[in-house]
Amino acid sequence: MAVSPPIEPMLAKIAEHVPQDGAFLFEPKWDGFRAIVFRGPDDVYIQSRDLRPLDRYFPDLHAVFLKQLPSGVVVDGEIVMPTAQGLDFGGLQMRLHPAASRVEKLAKATPAAFVAFDLLAIGRKSLLDAPQQERRLQLEKLFKKIRRPLHLTPMTRDPKLAVDWLQRFEGAGLDGVIAKPAGASYQPGKRAMFKIKHVRSADCVVAGFRWHKSGKDAVGSLLLGLYDDEGTLQHVGVTSAFTMVMRQQLVKEFAPLRKNAPRDHPWREWAGAAAESSRMPGGQSRWSAGKDLSWEPLRIERVCEVKYDHMEGDRFRHPPVFLRWRPDKQPRDCRYDQLEVTPAYELQKVFGA
């Protein structure tokens, strides 16, 4: 095999806008598990972004790769879970289960798919030094004979169409647009591409916080909430991008808000409890890996504005970024109905773009 594992995937840096000048290949940004697939003479190895094996979690795809990919192929892409409502990232996470029997059951009930977007080797030839546009041509030739659940990601050189994709494809659960310099080689571990994502803001209730890992002299993260139509404050995520100076200042600012906070707090039954509700800010799961998720409730008085890209269900898909305090806003005004509603878009139309 011309390219052997492990190999770090090429990464992307954030850009605010779709580049309008220069030669780029534009592709949708898929919301799944990054994976590099190595097809050997007799077997397949599926490598994750952090260089770990994924084969045991996706036996359905392992079998498909063995059947459809020719020996010597190394392909970079994304494992996704298509549904009638779009991509289901939560369904992918369910696959990371320690019990093989559970994984097999999920693989049959909710099969995964793979979207290819780069080719690192074919036959005995490495393509790492080949230009992006050449690797794309080779990938297109390879996928002429390949069928679902393996897919070739759409590509355009037209920045106007890329902007259109950025708007339309979000409704199918996609995560933005990737811009790849047409003449660039594959650069493992380097941020040699650009990712363009939606930027939105929301006013959220600051309902509590977690201590910083350094100790109780600094705030680690803020627990955010939004009110639903029934007037219930729902936990929607956390924000934690602060300087150490601000973390220490927040301890002083929050001191008066901690007094008597648990008494009438809407999440008071969760404070210090090991409940199982997905709404619970301190709930353990297999994703938290035993981390200390204890938290300190605050009186419901503070509102902050955060920047986010999109929602997954009724929670922020990625941790939002703190922008500023909103002393002019009342907590009761922080509702779901302020959020932009993304029109649904049929996932199959993305594959056919």
Sign for the pseudo-dihedral over CA of 23, 27, 32, 37: negative
Which residue out of 29, 105, 141, 252 is catalytically annotated?
29
Q: What are phi and psi of 261, to 5 degrees?
A: -60, -40
C-alpha 10, offset from chain centre:
16
What is d(CA 204, CA 325) in angstroms, rounded to the nearest whole number?
Answer: 10
User: Going by DSSP bridges, is the β-strand pair 86-87/215-227 parallel, antiparallel, or unpaired?
Assistant: unpaired
Active site residue 29: yes
DSSP 103-115: HHHHHHHS--EEE
Contact assessment for residue 212 and residue 247, using Cβ atoms and an 8 Å cutoff: yes
Contact assessment for residue 233 and residue 300, using Cβ atoms and an 8 Å cutoff: yes
Token pair, residue 112, equals 């995964």
Contact assessment for residue 353 and residue 245, using Cβ atoms and an 8 Å cutoff: no
Nearest of 3, 15, 27 to residue 122 by alpha carbon: 3
Beta-bridge mates of residue 102: none
Question: What spatial distance separates the first Cα and last Cα of the chain, rounded to whole Å?
Answer: 33
> Other C-beta atoms within 10 Å of 224: how many?
29
The helix (run of H) or strand (run of E) holding residue 249 is helix 244-258
What is d(CA 43, CA 190) in angstroms, rounded to the nearest whole number?
Answer: 28
What is d(CA 238, CA 228) in angstroms, rounded to the nearest whole number?
Answer: 18
Contact assessment for residue 36 and residue 75, using Cβ atoms and an 8 Å cutoff: yes
Contact assessment for residue 304 and residue 203, using Cβ atoms and an 8 Å cutoff: yes
What is d(CA 288, CA 175) in angstroms, rounded to the nearest whole number?
Answer: 23
Contact assessment for residue 26 and residue 158, using Cβ atoms and an 8 Å cutoff: yes
Which residues are known to be catalytic? 29
